Structure 1
């Protein structure tokens, strides 16, 4: 059977405040690689919303492999929802490997973002936690404890 080539392009997240979300993720180490305001028939068609109009920012991890697209709606109005919980069907979260989870949590705390419960140790392989980021985004931070030998 022929398999179509597929690559993950980015994870997209609607946010309440684009500047607040950019500040959080850039402080964690991502870089803004593009910004735009999008609207018009092509966005209506692609997204499925009539009158779609949004400010967007594309961020990238330092290794160039991961991208995060943030968008703040101008029209139609953004719809507030309760932050998702980890066990909800359709729950989304974005996960990052970090060199130092304690440093990452200090950065997150400066933005008022804290672990849901604490930092876990997974079989002495990872220390990891979920934090509630800007606009209620679930962000997983994980520090690898056992570095593979080269």
Structure 2
């Protein structure tokens, strides 16, 4: 085989290897990506049950309940367009409270509830990402 053909063959093999590695990386990222939803988004584009997602909104006033086991809590995440019941087992962040923002990472159950694996409490009630600011009520307007 001539040197020119060897270089061409190696070049094509290198391109194929890069393409294969890119495909594998994209496939892995697709499976690990957690999409963000608000309760009002669920009416139009609900994810399939069991898929890892993030649910964001305000913790509804009077909705936090501790269960008898001492580590499981239930609460309701709300926005201007809807509410979603959430169940979390673990230690909640210190800033987690009623009428404050929360992002729950977990998955939806077939009954429409959300089981969270992780809670992220918002540390400042004045900040709201621009893309969801119009979907969230002000903390003082949150009622049961």
TM-score grouping bracket, smaller chain normalisation: under 0.3
Query: TM-score scaled to structure 1, two decimals?
Result: 0.25
Larger radius of gyration: 2
More helix by share: 2
Query: TM-score scaled to structure 2, two decimals?
Result: 0.25
